[in-house]
Each structure stands twice: as structure tokens, then as C-alpha cells.
């Protein structure tokens, strides 16, 4: 009995976490490389390709270098806050990965079911939302504790930006929750599989609001003001070495998290397009698992590409314009859309 608890509640989660973390770190490291190479192709050049075959060891070299770089704490800084600020930026996206479900449950030969998730909990998407609202502290504290002008400005702008876009983001996610009736990500996907249409169709407005808001939330072009390198040099100006790397990793971990969340919310997650998954699952469970995982990965990659694509294309918004877009365009639209989706759900989606 006791050993059963140990296996079920300690060993299994830990194994899952180990696999997840290995995967996440690899993906986060390589999305940086993919971004650099893709940007290279967009800009008619090659991008990093000399370190290892196709430049594949580049992220390792970068990580190693940053790890071995001296760690500076400026004299003006508040050392304690300066040191803990990266923690607040770093852990929210990583914990967020826990609730992602990657495929339909795996049926063991013994008949037991195993979720493809570290913890597929009832809170699901709400957990990710509430954790991502913590990411702002890393930025505010980093900016304040650096004791320098540029980081302070950068952090405050970033804070206001994240506040402005958090509400449209939440509202558009609420419309998805409404359609599914659950916070749980696997339930949201199941709902899409049962209804046989993806939530992007009734929630097309919500989808676009969501897409714009997450780009702003993750501080990427065209909303990359906090690190608008050419204006105010960014909230992590004073950070060096590994501490800076944590901010860097947090940004890309957020991107990866969003890239994996978006398909689950709007594009049916691990649902295989043009196939009736739930029927097929009864006969060929393993096949559906594998294909579902691949389709999820493909959809996520699509969004990752989208992210990089817009980075190569757009200029940057100005601070006040950005707030204006957030508060006076996206907020009303997402609110009205919520009513619209409620009506659709009430009368059309039985």
C-alpha cells in the first residue's frame, strides 16, 4: 500500500518531470537557434551554422559561455532583490508546462491509464494564467533593484504593457473555457474532439485577440518595448552571465509554452485533423497516441514559426500606442466577443 503511494505519487511524477524538463530545455535551447537561423533566412543570410553540424551545438556553446561568465552586481543595486528577481521570471513558465497534456492517455497492457501530462489538474489553464501573472514581478524587481535608469524605465513599461494585455488575454481564454466548460486542458481538447470542430471557428475573434495579446505578454516584436534595444536598453541591462540567461530562457520558455497552449485552446491540441480520433482510439490506441502527439507538435511548430515570422517583419509599436491598442481596442473587442460566444454557446452549441 505504502509503496503503491510512493510509486504513484512520487516516482511517476518525478519520472514525468524528468522527461518533461529534458524536453523543455532542449526545445527552449533550440528554438533560440531555430529563430536565429530562420531570421537569417528571412534576411538573406545563413545564420549560425559553424558550431557543430548545421550549427546544432550553438545553443550549448552559448549556454556554456553564459554559465562561465562573471556575475556582476552593481554597486547601486539592491543585492538581495537583484539576486532573486530572475527566479520570479524563470519559474512561472516552467511550472506552466506541468498542466499541458500531449496526447490521449496511454493505455498500459495492465489496463491502467496514464496521462501524457505531469499533472493534468482541474485548474489547468487557470494555473498557467495565474502563474504567468507572476512573471511581471521578475521584471519589476529586476528593473527596480538594478539602481539604474534604463532598467527602471524598461521594467515599468513592461509592467504596464503586461497589465494592459493580460485582461484581453484572459477574456479570450474565458470564451474558450465557456465553450468547453472546463479549465482542464485535456477536457478542452476532448470537447473539440466531441464537437468535431475546433474552437477557432466559433472563437475566431477570440483567437486573434489571444494571438495579439500573447505576443504582447511575451514581450516580442512588435510589442518588444521592454527590451526595445534601440530606445531604452531593457530591464535586464545590468544583468550579466547566467542571471541574464535566466531572463533570456524565461522569455523563450514563455514562447514555447504559448506555442503549445495555443493549439490546445483553439486548434484541437493533439486532435488529428480529418480523423475521428475517439473512434479510432478504441481500436488503435497507440497509433492515435503517436499521431496525436505529432499533430500537436506540428501545430505548435506552426505557431513558433509565426512568432519568428512576425519578428522578422514588423516594426515596433510605441509605448503609448501599445497601451492604446491594449485598452481601447482589444479590451472592448474581447468583452463583446465574450457575449457573442456566450450566445453561440447558449443557442447553437448543444
Partner 1 sequence: MAISYIGVGFLLIIGLLMVPVTMILGKFFRPSKFEISKLEPYECGIEVKDSPKGRISVHFYIVAVVFLIFDVETVFLFPWAVAFDKLGLFGFIEVGIFLLLLIVAYIYAYFKGALRWEE
Partner 2 sequence: MIVFVVLVSVLIVFFSIMVVSLKHPISSAVSLLIAFLLLAIFYLLYGAEFVAAVQVLIYAGGIMVLYLMGVMFTDSEWIKITRQTHLQAWLALFLVLVFFGYFGHKLYHSQYPAPAVKRTEISIAKKSETEKKLPYLQRETNPRSVSVALFKDYIYPFEIASVLLTVAVVGGVFLAKKEV
Partner 3 sequence: MSNINGSDYPSFVGFTKLDKIFDYGRRNSLWPMTFGLACCAIEMICAMCSRYDMSRFGSEVMRPSPRQSDVMIIAGTITLKMAPVVKRLYDQMPYPKWVIAMGACAIKGGPWDDYAVLQGAGKIVPVDVYVSGCPPRPEALIYALLKLQEKIRDPKSAKEPQFIGPNLNEPTRGWMAKGEEIPEVVDKLIKEGHGVNTTQIF
C-alpha cell of residue 272: 488529428
Interaction of residue 282 with partner 2, rule CB under 8 A: no
Q: How far is the CB of 247 from partner 3 (least distance, A)?
A: 10
Query: Residue for cell digits 501524457?
Result: 116
Measured distance CA(108)–CA(12) in Å, rounded: 14
251 — phi, psi (to 5°)?
-60, -45
x-or-dash string of contact with partner 1, 121-160, rule CB under 8 A: xxx--xx------------------xxxxx-xx--x--xx
Interaction of residue 71 with partner 3, rule CB under 8 A: yes
Interaction of residue 338 with partner 1, rule CB under 8 A: yes
C-alpha cell of residue 172: 479570450
Name the one range near partner 1 by CB under 8 A: 39-47, 280-288, 299-307, 340-348. Answer: 340-348
Among 61, 204, 287, 336, binds partner 3 (CB under 8 A): 61
- From partner 2, partner 3, partner 1, none, interface partner of 208 (C-beta below 5 to 8 A by class): none
Interaction of residue 316 with partner 1, rule CB under 8 A: no
Chain centre to alpha carbon of residue 15: 22
* Beta-strand runs (E) in the chain: 106-107, 113-114
Measured distance CA(319)–CA(22) in Å, rounded: 37
Among 72, 95, 159, 205, binds partner 2 (CB under 8 A): 159
Angle of helix 241-266 versus helix 79-96 axis, rounded to 10: 30
x-or-dash string of contact with partner 1, 179-198, rule CB under 8 A: --xxx---------------
Among 80, 197, 286, 339, binds partner 2 (CB under 8 A): 80
x-or-dash string of contact with partner 3, 217-256, rule CB under 8 A: ------------xx--xx-xxxxxx--x------------
For residue 313, CA distances in Å to 306, 308, 325 come to 11, 9, 19
Among 27, 58, 220, 255, binds partner 3 (CB under 8 A): 58
For residue 78, CA distances in Å to 143, 245, 256 come to 11, 20, 31
Interaction of residue 94 with partner 1, rule CB under 8 A: yes
Measured distance CA(134)–CA(116) in Å, rounded: 26
The 3-state DSSP class for residue 119 equals coil
Buried/exposed code over 250-287 (b: 16+ C-beta within 10 A; e: otherwise) = bbbbbbbbbbbbbbbbbbbbbbbeeeebeebbeeebee
Angle of helix 79-96 versus helix 135-145 axis, rounded to 10: 160
Q: How far is the CB of 51 from partner 1 (least distance, A)?
A: 20
Measured distance CA(268)–CA(189) in Å, rounded: 5
C-alpha cell of residue 2: 505504502
Nearer to partner 2, 61 or 349 (CB): 349
Q: How far is the CB of 237 from partner 2 (least distance, A)?
A: 17
x-or-dash string of contact with partner 3, 11-40, rule CB under 8 A: -------------------------x---x
Nearer to partner 1, 20 or 272 (CB): 20
Q: Could you tell me if 246 and 66 are in contact, meaning their C-beta atoms sit under 8 angstroms apart? A: no
Interaction of residue 131 with partner 2, rule CB under 8 A: yes
Interaction of residue 221 with partner 1, rule CB under 8 A: no
Name the one range near partner 1 by CB under 8 A: 43-51, 161-169, 209-217, 277-285. Answer: 161-169
Strand partners, 107: 113
Q: How far is the CB of 255 from partner 2 (least distance, A)?
A: 20
Among 17, 29, 119, 133, binds partner 2 (CB under 8 A): 133
Measured distance CA(72)–CA(146) in Å, rounded: 11
Q: Could you tell me if 251 and 236 are in contact, meaning their C-beta atoms sit under 8 angstroms apart? A: no
Q: Which residues bind partner 3 (CB under 8 A)?
A: 36, 40, 43-51, 55, 57-58, 60-72, 229-230, 233-234, 236-241, 244
Amino acid at each position: 500500500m505504502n509503496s503503491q503511494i510512493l510509486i504513484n505519487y512520487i516516482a511517476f511524477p518525478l519520472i514525468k518531470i524528468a522527461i518533461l524538463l529534458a524536453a523543455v530545455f532542449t526545445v527552449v535551447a533550440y528554438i533560440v537557434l531555430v529563430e536565429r537561423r530562420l531570421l537569417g533566412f528571412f534576411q538573406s543570410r545563413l545564420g549560425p551554422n559553424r558550431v557543430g553540424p548545421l550549427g546544432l551545438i550553438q545553443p550549448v556553446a552559448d549556454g556554456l559561455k553564459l554559465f562561465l561568465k562573471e556575475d556582476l552586481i552593481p554597486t547601486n543595486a539592491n543585492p538581495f532583490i537583484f539576486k532573486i528577481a530572475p527566479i520570479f521570471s524563470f519559474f512561472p513558465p516552467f511550472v506552466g508546462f506541468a498542466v499541458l497534456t500531449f496526447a490521449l492517455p496511454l493505455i498500459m497492457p495492465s489496463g491502467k491509464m496514464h496521462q501524457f501530462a505531469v499533472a493534468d489538474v482541474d485548474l489547468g489553464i487557470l494555473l498557467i494564467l495565474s502563474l504567468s501573472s507572476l512573471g511581471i514581478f521578475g521584471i519589476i524587481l529586476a528593473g527596480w533593484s538594478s539602481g539604474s535608469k534604463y532598467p527602471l524605465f524598461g521594467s515599468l513599461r513592461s509592467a504596464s504593457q503586461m497589465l494592459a494585455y493580460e485582461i484581453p488575454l484572459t477574456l479570450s481564454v474565458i470564451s474558450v473555457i465557456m465553450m468547453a466548460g472546463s479549465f482542464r486542458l485535456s477536457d478542452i481538447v476532448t470537447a473539440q474532439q466531441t464537437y468535431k470542430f475546433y474552437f477557432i471557428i466559433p472563437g475566431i475573434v477570440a483567437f486573434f485577440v489571444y494571438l495579439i495579446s500573447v505576443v504582447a505578454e511575451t514581450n516580442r516584436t512588435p510589442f518588444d518595448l521592454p527590451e526595445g534595444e534601440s530606445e531604452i536598453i531593457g530591464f535586464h541591462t545590468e544583468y550579466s552571465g547566467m542571471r541574464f540567461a535566466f531572463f533570456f530562457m524565461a522569455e523563450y520558455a514563455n514562447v514555447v509554452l504559448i506555442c503549445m497552449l495555443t493549439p490546445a485552446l483553439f486548434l484541437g491540441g493533439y486532435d488529428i485533423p480529418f480523423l475521428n480520433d475517439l473512434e479510432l482510439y478504441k481500436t488503435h490506441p497507440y497509433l492515435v497516441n503517436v499521431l496525436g502527439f505529432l499533430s500537436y507538435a506540428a501545430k505548435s511548430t506552426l505557431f513558433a514559426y509565426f512568432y519568428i515570422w512576425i519578428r522578422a517583419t514588423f516594426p515596433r509599436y510605441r509605448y503609448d500606442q501599445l497601451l492604446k491598442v491594449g485598452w481601447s481596442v482589444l479590451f472592448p473587442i474581447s468583452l463583446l466577443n465574450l457575449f457573442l460566444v456566450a450566445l453561440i454557446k447558449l443557442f447553437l452549441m448543444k
